[in-house]
Every structure is written in C-alpha cells, then in structure tokens.
Structure 1
Amino acid sequence: MSATPIRGTSESTEVLLEGFHAVKHALRFGAPVEPLLAVSTAALLDLASSHAHDLLDRFQGVREVTSAEFAKLVGRTHPTGVAGFAPRPAVDVAGLIADRATPLVLLDNPRNLGNFGAVIRVAAGLGAGGVLSIGDVDPWHPNVLRGSAGLHFAVPVGKLDDLEGVQGPVFALDADGDDIADVRIPSNAVLAFGSERHGLSEAMRKRADHLVSLPMRPLVSSYNLTTSVAMALYHWDLDQRRIAP
C-alpha cells in the first residue's frame, strides 16, 4: 500500500496556499479554500478591509490557530499569518491545446520554480489561455504555487509529456529570431520559452513555426524568463488593442 501524500505537497491532490495574497487570489477565482487558517482573525479582517474588501464575507469562516499550530499545519510561519488548503483542479490539457481564444504559454523544461510561478502570475494578469510545461518539474509544486501568489486558479496550468499533439502556430522566443516588433502574434498562438540556462531544446526549435526575438541592448546576454513571457504577452495584448473595433 502506498503512503498517503502529505497535505500541500507536489504529490497531493490538495495544494497549500501560503499567505494572504495566495488565499485571496484562490478565493477570487473560485477555489474552495478549506480550511482557511489565520493566527489572528482580527489581523486577517484588517487585511481584507484594505486589500480584498470583496472577500470580507468569505473570510468570516476563518479558523484561528496559535502560531505553533499554524507552523505545524503549514510547515512554516508566514508574515501575514494566513494560509489555506484547496483541491488541485483537473485541467483538460488536450482540450486546452485544441481550442484556445488567447495564446498559450509553453515552458520548455523550466528549472527555477520561483520563475515558473511568476510566469503563471504574468500569464494570469495578461489573459493568457493557459500555462503548460514540458520537463520534470510539477507545475503545481508548492514552490511554483508560492511564486504565482495563488494565481494558478486564475489560468489553466498543466504539463505535457512531449510535443506530440501541440497544435500550432508555435512562436518560440529565441535571440536569433525575427524582431517581435515585426511579428503579429495571433490569438491562437503557442508562445514557447526555453529554460533559463539552456534555452530552447532542439525538439522545440524543430516544432516551432516561427522564431521570434525580443529587443535587447548589445552586451546584455538575456532576460529573466518571467520578463520574456511578460514582454511577449504584452506585445500580443497591445496588438489586439490596436485592431479592436
């Protein structure tokens, strides 16, 4: 018999939301957060009054715990003294690939978990259709979720075993590609980004329909992964605004 997964670990069907902002975002995008924990109910409601007035009613059901209980249940302390648990949603990756109204972000073997989470945060903010990854990193790893501030629940997040079934057009970001200023990215695009250290894999290069580069000052070697994703999605977003009636 296999061991029961620890709550909130990458092997569990339940994810840990660390901090007020992670809980806030999860609640706003429909996650059933249970239990919702706080070291101080009064402090939580003060935060909600200033940063999430729309969720005041949802925070009324908080379970107040001692600092020691919080650390035991969550695994660590947190500056806001707030945390929660929520079920990991099922994502129809095949359906997401087949039918999208806004670009998908595809990460090719990402290595930095904090960057991965920040990419999800950017993708949620700019209205991407989803964030998918290839490689051995679980996109719902606790450290990735920490980096997204709970915005995993705002945009579909999933994992691919390989590039089979990825439906184009695929626009891969690469320093040798065409200047993005001269490229129109359609709303059904897949925007592919290589790993922080090695860039695009050979398989991704072969699959790409277009190689696209971001403007960069000479002698600067590269952008942070999250910055690259933000720039590419913002380019798409600006283009959509220009053509909107």
Structure 2
Amino acid sequence: MSEQGIGEGARAWREWAGSDRAVVLDGFHALKHALRFGAEVLVAVADDPGAVRALADELAPDVAPEVERLVRPAALAELLPRVHPTGVAALAVRPDRAAGRAALARRPRTAPVVLLDNPRNLGNVGAVVRLAAGFGATGVLTRGDLDPWHPNVVRAGAGLHYATTVDRTELDELPPGPLYALDPEGEDIRALTLPDDALLAFGSERHGISPELRARADHLVSLPMRPQVSSYNLATSVAMTLFHWGGPAPAH
C-alpha cells in the first residue's frame, strides 16, 4: 500500500466527515447492510482494501462490486477513535428526514412503528433498530435527548438504519395509529392481537414509560414475566413484542 494511496483515502474521508449529514458506518457489516438498503455511501476506507474485497466476495457477493468501487486505502487509526476488527469504515449520507416522516404517516401501514421513550443506552437503541429491520417494522422513533443516529447506535445497529425509518420525535409529532404502551400493569400481551398500524411504545428498564406517554396510550400491555424478575432488557422487550405481532409461523 503506497503512502500516496493512503493519503488519498484519508483526504476523501476528511472531506466528507465534516458534513452534518455524514453517518459513520463502522465495520464491514454496517457497510454491507447500508449498501443493500440503498444508502448513498460517500467513501469507504480500509487498512487493507484487498482483505475487505475478499470479505465482500465471501460474505456479501451481492454488494461486492460496490465495495470494490468504493474502498480506498487509509490508516484507520488516524481517522477513527477505534478500528473495527473487520478493518473498514465508511461514510454515508443520512436519509432525508421528510421522506422518512412521510413513510411513517402513510396509511394503511403494514407493520408497526417502535417508539422508545427516553432511552438511555446507545447500544440498546442500536439493537432495537436491528430488530425492527429484521421484523420489517415501519420505523423506530425515540423521545428524549438521545440521538438515534449517534455513531454508537449505528454501530450497534450494524448499518440497518437504512432498512427502516429512524428518527427522533415528540408526542405531538407521533404518526397516526393506536398507541400500545408496555407497562407492568397492562393487559397480558398473549390475550391481544396487535394491529399492523400500531405504535409500540417502550420505556427504559429503570423508569418505564413516562407519565405523559402513559396518559396518551390507547392500550397498556404487559409481557409475561416470572415473579421476582424485575425487568427485561429493552431490546428483549421489543423482540418479544414484535414476535407476538408477527404471529405464528405459516404452516408448511
């Protein structure tokens, strides 16, 4: 790898990194998913571009030509606070907020929207985005000061922010649909059928949903839990609820 090649990759990275719409994709899987779901990737850099191309050929041949076109050599340790084990990072354009909002408001919706009420843990929010993408949820919205596009959230979501709509919201901005809030005093979820256009609201493990969101809810819903177990992890609660919404597997 020539010093000139390394310099070109670093210059391209620094040129785009200053944009407030540039999203860091940390690692091969984040890059792979972003490409699969239509992200506009501005630049990808790697300590060893050849190794990244080989990884794409092995794990994601569907996007290997795009990886080949994008990846440039660079010393990642000079550009990032930590280097992903796969030795690659990329910058992509953050999706247009208005377009995402339009997708959330479109009726009829065929899948729920997940609403996280004042979440605190960046990794948990990323895990929820990954779950929402896997289940085909319409989107993930957060209330509070946490940025759902924080680099640590995108890292935990493995680039799957581009597979669904991810945004921050306020109560008066919620998309239409019945609001089902997870609460220990709610009705057992096993007795309910969750509609496709539901808003599924989850609070933090420590505090639960906020009083104002609880008052706004159309339905309070509880998850089955063994006595003396205090709570589930946020991502676990979302997974259980989306699995219940999806219903039984089709018969073969």
Question: Shared fold (TM-score greater than 0.5)?
Answer: yes
Per the alignment, residue 81 of structure 2 pairs with: 75
**Residue of structure 2 equivalent to 1:112:** 121
Distance 1:150 1:164, change over 3 A: closer
Deviations 1:173-216 (A, max 9, x none): 11111111100100000000012321100011111101111111
Structure 1 residues 166 and 42, CA gap change in structure 2 (3 angstroms): closer
**1:16, 1:74 within 8 Å by CA — same for their partners in 2?**
no
Task: Compare 116-125 and 165-174 and name the one that shifted more.
Answer: 165-174
Residue 86 of structure 1 pairs with residue 95 of structure 2:
no
Alpha-carbon spacing, 1:8–1:170, altered in 2? closer, same or farther (3 Å) = farther
Query: What is the Cα deviation at residue 65 of structure 1?
Result: 2.4
**Number of residue pairs matched by the alignment:** 235
Measured after TM superposition, the shift of residue 64 of structure 1 is: 3.5
Deviates more, 1:111-120 or 1:33-42: 33-42
Kindly state the Cα deviation for residue 163 of structure 1 after the two structures are TM-superposed: 3.7
In structure 2, the partner of 1:187 is 196
TM-score (norm 2): 0.86
Please list every run of 5 or more consecutive structure 2 residues that lacks an aligned counterpart in the other structure: 1-13
2:153 aligned with 1:153: no
Question: Does structure 2 conserve the Cα–Cα contact (< 8 Å) formed by 1:110 and 1:137?
Answer: yes
**Residue 57 of structure 1 aligns to a residue in which SS?**
helix
Deviation (angstroms), 1:61: 1.7
Change (3 A) 1:164 1:47: closer
Alpha-carbon RMSD across the aligned residues, in angstroms, is 2.1
Aligned partner (choices 90, 95, 111) of residue 102 of structure 1: 111
CA 203–97 in structure 1, closer or farther in 2 if over 3 Å, else same:
farther
| Counterparts of 1:31 and 1:107, CA distance in 2 | 24
Q: Distance in 2 between matches of 1:200 and 1:185?
A: 19
TM-score for the superposition, normalised by structure 1: 0.89
Cα separation, 2, equivalents of 1:33 and 1:40 = 19
| 1:5-35 CA distance string (max 9 Å, x none) | 99658x8210100000000000100112121
SS in 2 for 1:53: coil
2:29 to 21, 27, 47: 21
- Aligned to 1:172, the other structure's residue is in SS state strand
Cα distance in 1 for residues equivalent to 2:15 and 2:117: 28
Question: How many angstroms apart in 2 are the aligned matches of 1:29 and 1:72?
Answer: 29
Task: Identify which of 230, 236, 245 aligns with 1:236.
Answer: 245
* CA drift at 1:49: 2.2
| Paired-residue identity, % | 53
